[in-house]
Amino acid sequence: MRPLRLLIADDHEIFRAGLRWLLELEPGWTVVAEAADGREAVAKAAETHPGVAVMDIGMPVMNGLEAAREIIEKDPRTKIVMLTVHDSDSMIHKVLGCGARGYVFKTDAARDLVNAVKAMQGDNTFFTGKVAEIILNDFARDQSRAYGADSPVGRLTARQREITQLLAEGRSTKEVASLLELSVKTAETHRANIMRRLSCHSVAELVRYAVRNQIIEA
């Protein structure tokens, strides 16, 4: 794996220390900053520009959801993995809505966190098992008019549907370019056009569209 700069944000010092030890066991991974609350996390991210930020949801001053939004707004290159003890549908939707690419239960951190961060490195997503099941089940039964058969989102071109499938399957833009024999710039343009046409603001929302329209299976 290539070198990776990490930020850890959690209001429990002992837990942060455990996460730091776990992550820095990986060759080339360095924790460049720690934060005890959301506002500090935003400031530290602006200073250190981490590739991945591992963040608790329930932090004081500013919660992890709001902090994640600000971090991504300031630097979209930073990928967010949220740590939480919550598994409710509403919390899962809030995490996805803030732009996080990973969702790991604190109780599963020892098992799943390293894999989640590796997924972020590969420009993919990572959701702990139960979360992935809830997401896909919810997406499959979603009746939002934004994804109705008569709306513009139901009229993608064949090439756009092909690219949508690859992106929804977790392929990076570079992988899409390689598979379809396109330049990376062209693939990025296609991706931007698709996201804009579908009014998608995250990969999770793109998966939602793909499942709802049988481009991929739930």
Full pLDDT tens readout for the chain, 218 residues: 578 999 999 999 999 999 999 999 999 999 999 999 998 999 999 999 999 999 998 888 888 888 999 999 999 899 999 998 876 777 777 888 888 888 888 888 888 899 999 999 988 888 876 666 666 666 555 544 444 444 444 567 778 888 888 888 888 889 999 988 899 999 999 898 888 888 888 888 888 888 877 677 65
Q: Name the domain count of the chain.
A: 2
Q: Domain check: are 123 and 149 in the same one?
A: no
Co-location of 37 and 68 in the same domain: yes
Residue 133 lies in a domain: no
Task: Specify the pLDDT at position 146.
Answer: 45
Domain membership of residue 174 as a residue range: 142-212
Domain with residue 11: its CATH number is: 3.40.50.2300
Q: Are residues 114 and 46 in the same domain?
A: yes
Q: Are 90 and 157 part of one and the same domain?
A: no
Question: Strand, coil or helix: what is 79?
Answer: strand
pTM: 0.62
Residues 14, 118 share a domain? yes
Is the residue at 218 inside a domain?
A: no
Q: Which strand (E) or helix (H) includes residue 53?
A: strand 52-56
The CA-atom distances, in angstroms, between 121 and each of 6, 50, 77, 143 are: 11, 11, 11, 33
